[in-house]
Structure 1
């Protein structure tokens, strides 16, 4: 009998050594009392709290990020009552007030009558994994933003414009609100590039983009690069007189910019031509036709000597 006791003790020592040498943190909770009957000493190295300080499930819940606390506790209690093994990812608070991402893997132990007797499990530090996941999400978001941004000027590009145009067109049609569109073109930009070079030409486009962006004053006003030296401003819930005022403001901003253009045939300074259109979309109106009409208005502004505004 003595040999058997010694063997059991040795086996227990082996299991204990194994448990306490792994990076995963083992623990056991008695279901009836909701008290920790064991937690691995590794917990202190990871979170700073001593094993003795883990008395009841209250310590476990209170040492959790406030945003995670409610749902994790509710989820784990519900799963445990149902006798279902489960796992949960949450942020555990360290003794000095920082947070570590934990994955808690829980096994439900039942007695001979099938009643829940205890919960045993392992806590894993998954902070590094979570940080990597977040970096990937941030990178994905950045790529999405880049795909909707013009690489040179940093303002929304044609792809984003098409998306917003479609949305605002449907909104204007549904609520029977006016929608105004400005299409702008830098006058004699090819000659500007030929005269000053492409590097200065690119810098010029950046300056124009940043300056004209400031003319879009409301949150839903939308300014984008249409391509080349063309820009577009979309003005929801804006009637024609208000849109004309914004077009005039764009021209004034260009004058204030004072970009020299020796090869221009209309001014010593860089100027823009603007086509403008306003519509309350009816059931038979098509977005593509409206954009075409405003584009034609820009063409007429160019035909009329440039540096002017023409309405569709």
Structure 2
């Protein structure tokens, strides 16, 4: 203690140490006070302060450390005195992993943490604390820290303030690493921002109100409003629709809400000082709890496309409070499979009341009602438990489809910690993230107009099948398909009919491919490409003729055609055994030459090359 005071220059001091009792045992003591007098050399002569026995508190903190070891983050208590001095009287050892600071350093002064905060985030962090201390409102904030190792890390925190003796403010809270979450969000935002057009969510409430729940930055270019304006005032968007198009769109929306069918609409938009635009939108509806209907959709400016065709959250109390109120669903299970602790988020997620008795057998049958999937998850759970000792008792995160009483099936990320035969489990809802990722994936690989594979998916599939057939020694066939006299069709009937014709032909081609590994996609314009693995030239010719006839059987009238009076296609077929010397593009060129030959021979026919 003497050495501690000698080394410090501050007037006020705080120290925690052990003292030996008369019976030889030790007790933990916390000393708080101030240096009253120093000698000429600056050494303390007199101090005034208070010593407190904190042995019981230390024991509770030790229990807290053990219980919180499986929580992905650090629990803390932050104190700010009226004189501006601040510190962390308590924090779990996980704080060292998060901030590369020891609990002892933070007990001395919170300034150690502030020095780690990114310069651009210091002022917003202090402002958020000021608002919380003035209003005694819950604090929640995210900021970056710069670690001595050079790593930049995102930290998120949440806490509940309360007044303490002497006018100080205490925050009991939780800090966790959100670096990966921020990276994923930035990556997702980048994907969303680079999708040409507008991604959005619109909602129809049971009372008839219509509003937007989400809009990407594409709203600015498409409607001349920011995403925030679009979500706060739907009329700012609706007012720009051509009235007749808006009325017909609302009729389609009502039918989509009633039948939960895909909503699709082309409409005109009038922006101040700009020429009138055409927008094409598609959205898939979803019935929400409470009766509202929400659409997940995509809109894009098709003005040029149409023009070119005529012309896209005290220690035992602290532990209970933090674990119960933290935004992660938590439960603890004993050796007999009894769920003896559940926090509020767990009860909200899964719909269990606080008095309900949950056993392992009941839990597994309710959240995994499908027997086969339950058996699969049981094997994964046993593997995770077996591997926990290799990871310091941690049960590594894994996704699972779980049935909840409150909102049906959800995708949960499940992780935890093993304490002997007891387990702490944490559940994080990943449903919306998975849904958004799936929506972006579909947009990246499906042609929006025809619903078949786009050029990117065709190129990837062709490359993969070329390599697979080369390794297995099987042939690969390609069908290059072109709609005969399609320009004349567009000139005669218009581009709307032309789009419908493309979609109908694509549907006939897709329906004509019976094998699961065959693929048809839009190669460009009115051209389609079929990839037929493990198919030779004869098989390709037979399949081409079947598809040609299927298109003709659609009987789409084409008065501008001198071939058959209906829409027809010409097909070029090529096949070969892939080898190390060649590549798939050679096969594409061969099919293209065969297509040219079919056209030369009078169209509405199949030619092989």
TM over 0.5: yes
CA distance in 2, matches of 1:83, 1:159: 41
Deviates most, 297-306 or 82-91: 82-91
* Range moving further from structure 2, 229-238 or 192-201: 229-238
Q: Residues 136, 297 of structure 1: CA spacing in aligned structure 2 closer, same or farther, 3 A cutoff?
A: same
State the 1:304 CA deviation.
2.1
Q: 2:554 aligned with 1:257, yes or no?
A: yes
Aligned equivalent of 2:325, options 2, 6, 23: 23
Q: Is the 8 A contact 2:480 2:573 kept in 1?
A: yes
Query: What is the Cα deviation at residue 23 of structure 1?
Result: 2.9
Cα RMSD of the aligned pairs, angstroms, is 4.1
**Distance in 2 of aligned mates of 1:302 and 1:260:** 20
Provide closer, same or farther for how the CA distance between residues 47 and 202 of structure 1 changes in structure 2, counting only shifts above 3 A: same
- Which structure's residues are more often strand, by fraction? 2
Structure 2 residue 586 is the aligned partner of structure 1 residue 281: no
Kept in 2, the 8 Å contact 1:47–1:93? The answer is no
The offset of 1:77, in angstroms, is 8.6
1:261–1:270 contact (8 Å) kept in structure 2: yes
Give distance in 2, aligned partners of 1:250 and 1:93.
43
Higher relative contact order (CA closer than 8 Å, sequence separation 6+) = 1
- Per-residue CA distance 1:6-56 (angstroms, 9 max, x = gap): xx9xxx9x76766666536999999xx9899x85896888623638x58xx
- Structure 1: gaps spanning 5 or more residues: 1-7, 109-115
* Residue 495 (structure 2) pairs with residue 198 (structure 1): yes
Counterpart for residue 50 of structure 1: 355
Task: Write 1 or 2 for the structure with the bigger share of helix.
Answer: 1
Matched, 1:228 2:525: yes
Q: Is the 8 A contact 1:86 1:106 kept in 2?
A: yes
Question: In the TM superposition, what are the counterparts of 1:183-222 in structure 2 within 5 Å?
Answer: 183-222=480-519
CA separation of 1:212 and 1:49: change in aligned 2, threshold 3 A: same
Distance in 1 (alpha carbons) for counterparts of 2:391 and 2:523: 60
Change (3 A) 1:284 1:153: same
Out of 459, 465, 483, the position equivalent to 1:162 is 459
Identify which of 556, 566, 569 aligns with 1:272.
569
Which residues in structure 2 correspond to 1:236-247 (within 5 Å)?
Answer: 236-247=533-544
Residue number in structure 2 paired with 1:3: none
1:207-243 Cα distance to aligned partner (Å, 9 max, x none): 0000111221111111111110001111111122221
TM-score (norm 2): 0.39
Displacement over 4 Å in runs of 4+: 14-22, 24-30, 33-36, 38-46, 64-79, 81-96, 98-108, 118-121
SS state at 1:306 partner: coil
Q: Counterpart of 2:325 in 1: which secondary structure?
A: coil
Deviation at 1:267, TM superposition (A): 2.1
Equivalent residue for 1:142? 439
Q: Which TM-score applies when normalising by structure 1?
A: 0.71
Aligned length: 278
**TM-aligned CA deviation for residue 63 of structure 1:** 3.5
Task: Pick closer, same or farther for the CA change 1:27–1:151 going to 2, 3 Å.
Answer: closer
- Match of 2:209? none
- The 3 A distance-change label for structure 1 pair 15 and 309 is closer
Shift of 1:284: 2.5
- Structure 2 spans left out of the alignment, 5+ residues: 1-55, 61-313, 369-373
Quick check: 1:297 aligned with 2:597? Answer: no
**Between 280-289 and 180-189, the greater mean CA deviation after superposition:** 280-289
Task: Give the conservation status (yes or no) of the 8 Å contact 1:63–1:93.
Answer: no
